[in-house]
Structure 1
Amino acid sequence: MPKHEFRLTADWFGGRGGEGRIATGNLVTKVSIPEDMKGPGIGTNPDEMMIGAAATCYIITLAAMLERKKIPVRDLTLETVGIVNVEITGQKFESITHRPKVVLHHDVTVNQMEEARKATEVAEKRCMISNAIRGNVALAVEATVIQEK
């Protein structure tokens, strides 16, 4: 079975309050601890990258599923919220909730509307990132599927 290898390089300057840089493929960015977690807030951080990975995996999986089912999508958007509990020792990434909004063309069938609703749930279960963190982070989908007027 073929495998794909991803590589990332990182540099870090300073201690906990320092900053760093990561590079992998098309992603090159500064990183640090967020300001609201008592860091310098420079660039992105592991928490944003975690929800970024989960969100992009989810929306790509959902888009592919809708395309395979030949469901005519007018617009597909997503808001993803990650919750980190900073009150416990060591901090814990508790949950990720995806809130997709799927707008279908005006001439879709009732069956296509239902298939799109199901796809919003199934996409989370098929997403590689969700499957990597399932059991350690609570995952949820709160979808809106509507038909354009």
Structure 2
Amino acid sequence: MKIIYTAEALATGEGRNGHARTSDGKLDVNLAIPTEMGGNGEGTNPEQLFAAGYAACFHSALQMVARQEGADVSDSAVGARVGIGPTDAGGFALAVTLEVSLPNLTHDTALELTEKAHQVCPYSNATRGNIDVVLAVAED
């Protein structure tokens, strides 16, 4: 693979209760454990950052495959829900649901494009076989 871009970020402090910043300073956030996990929730968390990144990346992949197919994806949106929970082995794992809205397409066409985007999205390719990912296409 020929790398065309590399993002850099540094996390400091106490991990989930710390700080994260990209090398260019465009992302600069305080981190906090969510209240649901016993924290104070007064900052963002890795799952929120992952959800935002996956949603944006998948939306770009969806727009790319739609352009190739000549499909109208204006007014489209992708939401991501990222859950975290304990595994039987004693660690933690993630689960993702991607919610795709393509209001200008039939449900079958929207499903087809969503599946194609799932094959080309870098986040989907990175998580495939490692994280449960559910694709949900809205009935518009």
Instruction: Classify the TM-score, shorter chain.
Output: 0.7 to 0.9
Q: In angstroms, what is the RMSD of aligned CA positions? A: 2.5
Once the two structures are superposed, what CA deviation does each residue of 1:108-131 show, in whole Å capped at 9, x if it has no partner? 7x7xx7544311111112110111
User: Shift in Å at residue 101 of structure 1?
Assistant: 1.0
Equivalences for 1:46-125 in 2 at 5 Å? 46-86=46-86, 89-93=90-94, 95-104=95-104, 114-125=108-119
Gaps of 5+ in 2: none
More strand by share: 1
Gaps of 5+ in 1: none
The residue matched to 2:98 in structure 1 has which SS? strand
Cα gap change, 1:56 to 1:36, in 2 (>3 Å): same
Letter in 2 for 1:103: P
Question: Does residue 144 of the first structure (1) align with residue 138 of the second (2)?
Answer: yes
Moved more, 82-91 or 134-143: 82-91
Cα distance between partner residues in 2 of 1:16 and 1:78: 28
Letter in 2 for 1:22: R
Larger radius of gyration: 1
Cα gap change, 1:85 to 1:9, in 2 (>3 Å): closer
User: Shift in Å at residue 42 of structure 1?
Assistant: 2.4
8 Å Cα contact 2:110/2:137 also seen in 1: no
Cα distance between partner residues in 2 of 1:74 and 1:20: 36
User: Shift in Å at residue 74 of structure 1?
Assistant: 3.5
Cα distance between partner residues in 1 of 2:17 and 2:114: 39
TM-score (norm 2): 0.80
TM-score (norm 1): 0.76
How many aligned positions are there? 137
Partner residue in 2 for 1:20: 19
Cα distance between partner residues in 1 of 2:101 and 2:16: 38
State the 4+ residue runs in structure 1 displaced beyond 4 angstroms: none
8 Å Cα contact 1:18/1:40 also seen in 2: no
8 Å Cα contact 1:71/1:116 also seen in 2: no
Cα gap change, 1:29 to 1:18, in 2 (>3 Å): closer
